[in-house]
Structure 1
Amino acid sequence: MVQRRPWEVEDGLWERIAGLLPVIERRVRYPGRKRLDDRRVLSGILFVLYTGIPWEFLPQELGYGSGSTCWRRLRDWHQAGVWQALHELLLAELRAAGLLDFSRAAVDGSHLRAMKGGAKTGPSPVDRGKTGSKHHVITEAHGIPLAATLTGGNRHDVTQLMPLVHAIPAVKGKRGRPRKRPDALFADRAYDSDTYRRELREVGIRPLIARRGTQHGSGLGIHRWVAEAAFALLHWFRRLRIRWEIREDLHEAFLILGCSIICWRRLKTSFC
């Protein structure tokens, strides 16, 4: 049995993505070159996400199209909301399968180098002031990413706490109202702020945030570690370890796509 390469789009994933892609009508009078198959181009985008290879070095012999073609589709589909819609669709399927636990959530941030600068970059306090960005993620109880955002490397984690909470989509999948808020939220000392604790309570979330100056061993870490595990999965994609994109929207597209692939893997294991 030939093992499928991870960047090749599986049938189940393609069935979910195909219905989200915008329909491009071909011109009748001057049709131009025939548009490359969307599924093959998506494999090219995933190849770049998995390997981190520069767009211009995408091997033509793989049949995924040129790097510029894949770059444009990534941009266009992101602008059309495809990646966010895919993430929300997979979250809904996970909830329907009983694989999402909103009883608690965890947040964390992670620095990465931004080699070419651009918007949402800044001097990194953990990398000798070199230009960097920051990934912020909020996960449910088992580490499935509910939302992820990108900021400059000099932005403090606590400033992104409420933006992350508000970025959680309304997750369907069960009868009744969609679920949008976890019951409790775990965070480390970087998020220690009574102001933000009050804001969390105002939206119905119980804050469980470690306080500065207290000894380690509070026991909160047994729930917070899932956010670090989510970063380990996200940064397994080489394109998310270092930011090569000057345009922040393209890196955000990769970030949301990475979250979607993690959700798909978790959903796929439930079929077995």
Structure 2
Amino acid sequence: MSDELWSLIEPLLPEPGPKQVEGRPRVPDRQALCGILFVLHTGIQWEYLPQELGFGSGMTCWRRLAAWNEAGVWDALHLVLLKKLRAAKKLDWSRAVIDSSHVRAARRGPKAGPARSTAHDRAASTTSSPTARASRSRCR
């Protein structure tokens, strides 16, 4: 990750709280973010994040992702990046797509087909005639 990008992200990150228990030192935020990006980019499972890369454990990165998500870091980063791109006139709104889950339809379209009957009649049998069924009846 470039220093320029990190300088935009770092101020948005919440301050870490006091340690609850003694243990390993906290993985720096920049390393954890690189681990998060590695998992999201490669698609590997969190538990298989290679320790040799120095990002911390997959669980550490996952917890940091969850904490930052809860703190609204990603929404804030999105706004910062949009502002920066808008100032540089690098936003191309002709490529924008409106997602239907965010825009309500004006009204419903026509119904799909004829209304179903709600009558309680049994459907006619295609395998036996009504007279044969009546002659087999035990109620005489």
What TM-score do the two structures reach when normalised by structure 1? 0.36
User: Who wins on radius of gyration, i.e. which is larger?
Assistant: 2
CA distance, structure 2, for counterparts of residue 46 and residue 100 of structure 1: 23
CA RMSD across the alignment: 2.5
Q: Give the corresponding residue for 1:72.
A: 63
Structure 2, unaligned stretches of length 5 or more?
Answer: 109-140
CA distance, structure 2, for counterparts of residue 51 and residue 104 of structure 1: 26
Structure 1, unaligned stretches of length 5 or more?
Answer: 1-8, 108-135, 137-157, 164-192, 197-272
Shift of residue 99 of structure 1? 1.8
CA distance, structure 1, for counterparts of residue 83 and residue 33 of structure 2: 22
SS of equivalent to 1:47? helix
CA distance, structure 2, for counterparts of residue 75 and residue 86 of structure 1: 15
CA distance change for structure 1 residues 43 and 105 in 2, over 3 Å: closer, same or farther?
closer
In the alignment, does 2:51 pair up with 1:56?
Answer: no
CA distance change for structure 1 residues 59 and 25 in 2, over 3 Å: closer, same or farther?
same
Q: What letter is aligned with 2:18?
A: R
CA distance change for structure 1 residues 39 and 102 in 2, over 3 Å: closer, same or farther?
same
Q: What letter is aligned with 2:12?
A: L
Q: What letter is aligned with 2:46?
A: W
Structure with greater strand percent: 1
SS of equivalent to 1:35? coil
Shift of residue 10 of structure 1? 1.4
Deviations 1:170-190 (A, max 9, x none): xxxxxxxxxxxxxxxxxxxxx
In the alignment, does 2:107 pair up with 1:195?
Answer: yes
SS of equivalent to 2:97? strand
In the alignment, which of 28, 36, 40 is matched to residue 45 of structure 1? 36
* Larger RCO of the pair (alpha carbons < 8 Å, separation 6+): 1
What TM-score do the two structures reach when normalised by structure 2? 0.67
